[in-house]
Chain A
Amino acid sequence: MLELSKYGLPASTYLLTGGHRGLRWDRMVPVKYMLLIYSNAESWEGLSAEQREGLVRAHESISQELAEQGLLVSAAGLADPITTRTVRVVDDTATTTDGPYAEAKEHLAGFYLVECDDIDQAIGYAARLPDAEYVAVEVRPVMDMSGLEM
């Protein structure tokens, strides 16, 4: 058994000469964030050809930047909701319906999976996605399989 008293701890003399090296208790390894891009049919259809062209270019350039920084895990655009099927299993039987699960005006149009030091960095990239101007981009941390000793 480690006996504190043996070492005279806690003693102010130790504290005065104490080390000053940094220490973090939490994981400091980047967290993965999903940037979820929302859209609606009207907002896309209402764009001019130049605006659409600009949107595509903005995505290309931000993907390239994220890749060069070593932050990009994955990214993709999703096909129009008109092509979506929603699956439900009832009594072991799968049934499908046309269209997305949520009957909202907005639909999920694409995503970026990025690794960032913190959520502020992820928000920074989300704000630069052109879609944030038209509808919205949601930033959500990805759950991971790790846990500190509790």
Chain B
Amino acid sequence: MSSFDLLLREQAPQVLSALVRHYGHFDLAEEAVQEALLAAAQQWPEEGVPDNPRGWLIRVGSRRLTDLLRSESARRRREENAAQLAAPEEFVAAGPEIDDPGGRDDTLTLLFLCCHPALSPASQIALTLRAVGGLSTAQIAAAFLVPESTMAQRISRAKRSIKQAGSTFEMPPEAERDERMGAVLHVLYLIFNEGYTASSGTSLHSAELTTEAIRLVRGVRKLLPDDGEVAGLLALMLLTDARRAARTGADGTLIPLAEQDRSKWDRAAIVEGEALVSDALTRTQLGPYQVQAAIAAVHDTAETAEATDWRQIVALYDVLEQLVDNPMVKLNHAVAVGMAIGPKEGLAVLEPLESDDRMNHRLEAVRAHLLEMAGEATAARESYLLAARRTTSVPERHYLQSKADRLA
């Protein structure tokens, strides 16, 4: 990412907040900011970065916004033929001289708005990346491998939904805040996952999503330094991303945790992540991201795969299961029990999941793994093959197929 890009992305939420606070009209303001960012991307490399980049962006954005409001009200007048609508002058009267938000940081308010419960997760992600992350529609479309027109529709639909839900630009009431904060962290988590789980082919775009998610959650942490779950999520991302270089082979195949070359792990990220989660665990309310980060820390700080403290991981999964009702947690729990105690015990943990209809091919993959550990090669092979057929992920399919081949 160039320094221009980074500068623009950092300014994007501030500029948007200033415009929305001053004019309202989240949908049009967002469009105006995108155009201001585009103008900056074209002009600054040639003319140099202005002394006050944010002021420049706010000025250009608000000029564009008044244009948009003018044409919008003209359109509405034509459509409704109603004279009582505000005249364009009313919007312009405030002039382009909008106060810089100064010390106030509205990024969190903006995040809450983009993660509005009226939107689907896919729309929340798209809108957050654009409005808070400052990514263009084309960049977001490329990252998710859909045509730009599809992403543009999704974003404008999301903006319309927010408008219809009647959301104003202010922090939600206290009672809602925790819930919304959960949605915000969830969206950042999904953005990270989308970048992290994609491997070869789209790696360029995907790595950028991961970086963006980490940048955004760092931003949230600056605003809420004492929130344990924010710290936990940042730690989880750092501890997971630290393994990036080791998790795929030269040909793009998936390398499981146990077989990764640990010298390729990013030490600095591990140290930072572990410090974050250790600090959060001692002094904040416990939450699922912190527990997941703690599990990741146990893996990342083991010298070798064999040295992994599986008993500690089992204990952490016990805690996590109390916090969240998710079959994936139980699956991971079963793996940990298999490693800490024995494969038979792990298989016993799997049993109640058979009837869980939220389960996918990973139940079969875990069963295969535990059966292999138990020395039941034939049954393990069958399970690997079944899991390979059920997955829709290419690297996972290759991995599961090769596990089955080794047992042939």
Contacts and interface: CB of A to CB of B under 8 A. Distances in A.
Interface of A: 1-2, 4, 6-7, 9-10, 14-15, 17-32, 67-74, 115, 117, 141-150
Contacts of B146: 73, 115
Main secondary structure of the interface of A (DSSP, over half): loop
A32 B145 CA distance: 10
A26 B257 contact: no
B31 interface: no
Contacts of B396: 147-148, 150
Contacts of B297: 2
Contact of A144 (B189, B281, B285, B392): B392
B312 interface: yes
Interface in B153-208: 153-155, 157, 178, 181-183, 185-186, 189-190, 193-194, 197-202
Contacts of A19: 228-229, 285-288, 323
B329 interface: yes
Given A2-B274, A117-B121, A147-B399, 4 more contacts: A2-B294, A73-B146, A147-B199, A148-B396
B393 A147 contact: yes
A10 B315 contact: yes
Contact of A141 (B178, B309, B392): B392
A84 to B, nearest CB: 27
Contact of A147 (B183, B257, B289, B394): B394
B298 interface: yes
Interface string B219-235: 00000000011000000
B328 interface: yes
A26 B328 contact: yes
Contacts of B328: 24-26
Interface residues of B, number: 79
Contacts of B150: 67, 70-73, 115
A4 B198 contact: no
Contacts of A29: 121-122, 125, 144, 190, 193-194
Given A1-B309, A26-B328, A27-B197, A18 B322 contact: yes
Nearest to A25: B328
Nearest to B156: A70
Contact of B256 (A2, A69, A150): A150
A27 B190 contact: yes
B247 interface: yes
Given A2-B277, A29-B144, A150-B365, A144 B394 contact: yes
A16 to B, nearest CB: 10
Nearest to A9: B319
B121 A145 contact: no
B367 interface: no
B9 interface: no
Nearest to B154: A70
B395 A147 contact: yes
Nearest to A74: B147
B385 interface: no
A72 B332 CA distance: 35
Contacts of A73: 146-147, 150
B72 interface: no
A14 B147 contact: no
Given A144-B393, A148-B396, A4 B315 contact: yes
Contacts of B153: 67-70
Interface in B325-384: 326, 328-329, 332, 360, 362, 365
B324 A23 contact: yes
